[in-house]
Each structure stands twice: as C-alpha cells, then as structure tokens.
Amino acid sequence: MESTRYLIVGGGMTGDAAVKGIRERDQDGSIVLVGAEPHPPYARPPLTKGLWAGKDEAKIWRGTEDAGAALRLGRRIVSLDLDRHVATDDRGDEYGWEKLLLATGGRPRTIPGTEGVVYFRTLDDYRAIRARMRDGASAVVIGGGFIGSELAASLATNGCRVTMVFPERGIASRVLPAELSAYVTDEYRRRGVEVLTEETVAAAGANWVTTGSGRTIEADTIVAGLGLEPETDLATAVGLEVDNGIVVDELGRTAGHDDVFAAGDVASFPVAALGRRFRVEHEDHAKSHGRAVGANMAGANVPYLHLPFFYSDMFDLGYEAVGEVDSRFETVESWEEPNRKGIVAYVDESRRPRGFLYWNVWDHVDLGRELISAGAPIQEAALV
C-alpha cells in the first residue's frame, strides 16, 4: 500500500489547483494524485478555443509535478474505505491517506442510440477531431450550449463545413436573453454554419446523424458537447451526501467527515452572496475552489466566498459572466451597440442582481461581484 498525507482523486484542473493550495500551507506533506487520463493535468478551455487558433499545445500543461505531487495516471479509484482511510484503484493498488479530496469532475452527458459519436471532453478527444478536420471536411456538432457553440465556431473558422443540431430555440439560449440568442444564431448562419434549432437526435454513428424529424446528415465526424453529469459514484457508494454533486460546506468538507473534501465540477457548494448552492463546471471555479479547498485540507480554514466567473468566444463575439446567469430571469440591459457590445444584469423580482453578462465588454467582473454581493435593486445607469 502507498501511504500519503493528501490523496487527490481526479487529474483535472481542480486536482492541480488543490496540489498548489496544499503547498501554500504545507511544503513537505506528501501528495498523491490519481487521474484516469494518461496525461498530467492540463488546461481544458484551449480544447475548444486556443488550440484551434494555433496555440501551442505544449502550453496547456499545468506543471502539477513541479509542486511535488506524485502522479498516478491512467488509473481510476474504484472504491473507498473511509474508516480505514484507504482507496483502491482499478488495478487493485491501494492508497492510504490522512486527507482525501474528491475532484472527480464529471462525465459527458450522452444520447442513447449514438454509437461512435465523440462526446467532447478530453485532450484525446481534441486530437481525434483535429486529425479528421482537414480544410473542407464536414462535421455535425450536437449541442448548442457552451461547448457546442465554441466547438462549432472553431471548426468553421478552420474551414470545416459545420451543422449544429440542438433542441433549444437558439444558441446558448439557456444563458442568453432570447433576442441576443436569436442574434447569435443568425450570426452563425451568416458565417456558413447550418443551425438546426428545435431539433433532436434520434440516432447517430461515427459519420451520420438522424434527426427527430427524420433527416439523415452524413459528415466526416460527429461530435457532441452536452455538458456534464457530476461523477459522484464513489461518494454515493460510501454514503456521502449527494445532491447535484457532492455536498460540501464553505471549507469544502463533506458532511460528517472532516478529513474528506470535494471540489470543482463535482462539488455542490454554498454561495453566500446568492443564498443557495451551486455546482459550477467552468475554469475559474475549478482553479479557485480547488486551490481554496487544498489550502483548507492543509489547515487554512478559510471559507470559500469567491463568486466564480466564466467566459466564451464565438467567432468575433465573446463575453464574461459572473453569478447566476440564467435566461429565465428578468433582465436589465444597457447596450452601447445592440447585440454587439453591452451589459446584461439578470435580476430577481425585486430587481436585485443575480448575475451579469458582459457582452464584448471586458474587465467588469469584479464590479459585477460587488453589485451581486450588495444585493441592492439595480437600474440601467448602474451598469455603465
């Protein structure tokens, strides 16, 4: 059995950030990180953004091993014994630990009856799609949300013929106000992307899709970006509280276990500024929550009060967003140029801000955090 002070289950950005958070408080304690992928931790946003624009793949690596963590890659933890403080991987090897972090992230949502579709998540997925996507190749992208919209734009920018298929009325319609979503959808069509809205996928293979309306589309590759399901199987098996993620407190601890923590995509964490729990699947949270919880594992005992932000790039359109950005909320909007540059506040019934969308407007996220935390009713003039 390999014994360590800190065992991190999960080899993504959260696991890497936790290693660095531990090292801020504990320079000498042994750290073992077990990751299912064969690669050490790397940045995920470039998989749909920068790598398609020519960014050097060598720059995505997080350098986790430089912080003194022992990496056990290509392995998956399959069972936990919380009483014995022992974890077992899929090769039968055991790891004894003093503090445990579950940074297991999530698995891509899938559609039944779709054999051969690439459910886009990993570096190997990127490499596989990139190898097929010569100039003039064709692709069907299933999904019109965060991953689907970015990937479709990147493929089209690289000379691919792209068809998007999704059931919503417009691109990113769960986040963007209806008028803005419609504008973005039209912009994709102007860029040559065929966008099939309010359309489902009945079946698919490696090179074809049959839609719910009966149309069959052939393409060189079929790729889907449908979000994640939190990877909570280990937590459920040992009786940890799970509710759309592993439930943790403001320090990242699981209920009833001061030595078991969870962070990142898999964690359901309290957001004091908004008075509810969230589970967030974006880069800023993976890094900030991972680092904070890692530090708390090493004794920092500092509540996580950070309000995560996220961002996206879609052709020459882009945004930063913070808080609860949900198109079901009422909005207060201020546009310098309609649908091209402006600020959208998502507000509750008392016009208190729940979230902000900065559309082609940059470096305003901290102001948005302040306004959300203040909780005062907001007027259009406050957005400028």
- The fold of 316-383 is Enolase-like; domain 1 (3.30.390)
* Sheet with 267-271, edge to edge strand ranges: 246-247, 267-271, 276-278
Give the per-residue pLDDT at 313: 93
Q: What percent of the chain has pLDDT over 90?
A: 96
**260-273: average pLDDT:** 97
Give the per-residue pLDDT at 90: 97
Q: Per-domain residue ranges for the chain? A: 2-107+228-297, 110-224, 316-383
Joined tokens for residue 124: 């190997």
**358-373: average pLDDT:** 96
Instruction: Give the pLDDT band (50/70/90) at residue 319.
Output: very high
- Relative orientation angle of helices 178-190 and 146-157, to the nearest 10 degrees: 20
Q: Where are the alpha helices (DSSP H) in 133-240?
A: 146-157, 178-190, 233-237
Phi, psi for residue 224 in degrees, rounded to 5: -125, 140
Q: What percent of the chain has pLDDT over 70?
A: 99
**167-185: average pLDDT:** 97
pLDDT digits 0-9 by tens, 292-314: 999 999 999 999 999 999 999 99
Give the per-residue pLDDT at 314: 94
**Does the pLDDT at position 381 exceed 60?**
no
How far apart (Å, rounded) are the C-alpha atoms in residues 222 and 183? Answer: 25
Give the per-residue pLDDT at 246: 98
Whether 2-107+228-297 and 110-224 share one fold: the answer is: yes
**225-249: average pLDDT:** 97
For residue 322, list its beta bridge partners: 309, 356
**41-60: average pLDDT:** 96
Residue 220 corresponds to which amino acid? D
Joined tokens for residue 235: 């937590």
Going by C-alpha positions, the residue among 375, 18, 97 that lies closest to residue 260 is 97
Q: What secondary structure, in 3-state letters, does 9-68 show? A: ECCCHHHHHHHHHHHHHCCCCCEEEEECCCCCCECCHHHCCHHHHCCCHHHHECCHHHHC
**Does the pLDDT at position 365 exceed 90?**
yes
Give the per-residue pLDDT at 135: 82
Going by C-alpha positions, the residue among 248, 250, 241 that lies closest to residue 292 is 250
228 contacts 109 by C-beta, under 8 angstroms: yes
pLDDT digits 0-9 by tens, 62-89: 999 999 999 999 999 999 999 999 999 9
Give the per-residue pLDDT at 179: 97
Q: What rounded mean pLDDT belongs to the chain?
A: 96
Residue 331 corresponds to which amino acid? T
3-state secondary structure of 282: coil
Q: What CATH code is assigned to 110-224? A: 3.50.50.60
pLDDT digits 0-9 by tens, 92-104: 999 999 999 999 9
Give the per-residue pLDDT at 321: 98
How far apart (Å, rounded) are the C-alpha atoms in residues 100 and 89? Answer: 14
Instruction: Give the pLDDT band (50/70/90) at residue 140.
Output: very high
Instruction: Give the pLDDT band (50/70/90) at residue 113.
Output: confident
**Does the pLDDT at position 384 exceed 70?**
no
Instruction: Give the pLDDT band (50/70/90) at residue 380.
Output: low
Instruction: Give the pLDDT band (50/70/90) at residue 382.
Output: low
Q: What CATH code is assigned to 2-107+228-297? A: 3.50.50.60
Give the per-residue pLDDT at 53: 94
**119-132: average pLDDT:** 96
How far apart (Å, rounded) are the C-alpha atoms in residues 15 and 62? Answer: 10
